[in-house]
Chains A and B, each alone.
Chain A
Amino acid sequence: MTKKRWVTNGLSIAFGSLFLVSLIGQALSGVAYFNEEQMASDLEPVSFWQYVTSSSFAVDVSENWQSEYLQFFLLIVLAVWLVQKGSPESKKTEQRGLESDEDQMIGQYAQEGSPAWAKAGGWKTAVFSNSLGLVMGTIFILSWLAQSVTGFSAYAQEQLQNLQDPGTWTEYLVSPEFWNRTLQNWQSEFLAVWSMVALSIFLRQRGSPESKPVGEAHDATGVQG
């Protein structure tokens, strides 16, 4: 990769790398912790590969993924209609809603460099106009489904260790365990977004597109640095 591409793709490279490092770290610490419990029960330790293909690891990963993608999905979609005065995370009040075709540069208002499906019209433009929300929402649903399945498997295993019946997946969907796992993730994600929306009204980070310019007024809305 040329030096220019390292620069122009720096944000993706940095966060992609952080994701991989932390996922590997989670797997390594997870297998060590799992084997501590195995040894405490006089059972044989498992290999790294056995652990990362287990329901224990899968549920710990998927429960975090589903809440992250739900957070992004809701922020992307709700911010179309809901505003917060003074926040750079919000549109201006008069821009609430889907906005005009001209503002969104679609169909006849598409520019020279506009994506092809923005110009195409019909279902292609309709799909492309909602592609970000659709993908985020789909990944949320799939990862929440994965959490439910892997979470049930881990829960059932714990039930058996306690000499109790494992139950079924449908029973697990309405169980306190499933909803406790789900809601403890959701509350932290919604807190993070709420903090970002509210704190960015009054606080600044020079040079960051997530912040208003340092000298921008507190009541300036939808302005980024």
Chain B
Amino acid sequence: MMWRLKMRMKAALTFRVLGYLAAAGVVLVGATACSETNPGSNEATVAATRFHDHVRSGDPEGACSLLAPGTVEKLEDGEPDSCATKLRGLDLRAASSVLESKAYGSDAQVVMDQDTVFLVQSGHSWKITAAGCTSRGERPYQCLVEGS
């Protein structure tokens, strides 16, 4: 009798383990599916909007402070502290409204009415890696401002 009870308990334990595995699987799929809901896209949108606010108000220094280090370096092209001057010379079109924002991992794309901006998350802030971008279909965007 005891061995039958033990067998039933083992079977019950097996089905319980299978249930936990199934639940873990559902959680895994659900958690990974959350990557579709763009965590971080709101913060990226804020950074892109602030960048274009600086561009619109004629404040290239403020705009440069939002650029990623690699983008600043490429823009300055060996002339330190020339970011603002170089940025002013590019004559970027100021964008005002956000049409769409997507973020995956630490990278984001914000599509605005007059521009498409690419960003990267560094620490707790979003920095712009490319701006003044024009779509070329499946090929990479052609951008007036971009990092290496």
Q: Which A residues contact B (CB, under 8 angstroms)?
A: 41-44, 46, 54-56, 58, 62, 113, 115-116, 135, 138-139, 142-143, 145-146, 149-150, 152-154, 156-157, 160-166, 169
Contacts and interface: CB of A to CB of B under 8 A. Distances in A.
28 contacts: A42-B68, A42-B69, A43-B122, A44-B123, A55-B35, A62-B28, A115-B11, A116-B7, A138-B22, A139-B21, A142-B25, A142-B28, A143-B25, A146-B29, A146-B32, A149-B33, A149-B36, A152-B36, A153-B32, A153-B36, A157-B104, A160-B102, A161-B120, A162-B140, A163-B140, A163-B143, A165-B109, A166-B102
B70 interface: yes
Nearest to B140: A163
Contacts of A160: 102, 104, 107-109, 118
B120 A43 contact: yes
A150 B123 CA distance: 22
A157 B105 contact: yes
Interface of B: 7-8, 11, 18, 21-22, 25-26, 28-29, 32-33, 35-36, 68-70, 102, 104-109, 118, 120, 122-123, 130, 133, 135, 138-141, 143, 146
Interface pairs A-B: 9 shortest CB-CB:
A160-B107, A153-B35, A156-B104, A157-B105, A157-B104, A163-B140, A142-B25, A42-B69, A149-B32
A55 B68 contact: no
Contact of A149 (B35, B108, B139): B35
Given A56-B105, A157-B104, A163 B32 contact: no
A156 B35 CA distance: 11
Contacts of A156: 102, 104
Nearest to B141: A163
Nearest to B109: A160
Given A163-B140, A164-B138, A164-B141, A113 B7 contact: yes
Nearest to A41: B70
A42 B141 CA distance: 22
Contacts of B109: 160, 165-166
B59 to A, nearest CB: 24
A194 to B, nearest CB: 28
B147 to A, nearest CB: 8
Contacts of B36: 149, 152-153, 169
A87 B25 CA distance: 34
Contacts of A62: 28, 32
B144 to A, nearest CB: 12
Contact of B133 (A56, A116, A163): A163
Nearest to A150: B32
Nearest to A135: B18
Contacts of A135: 18
A58 B143 CA distance: 32
In the complex, which of the residues A62, A149, A156, A160 has the most CB atoms of chain B within 10 Å of its own CB atom? Answer: A160
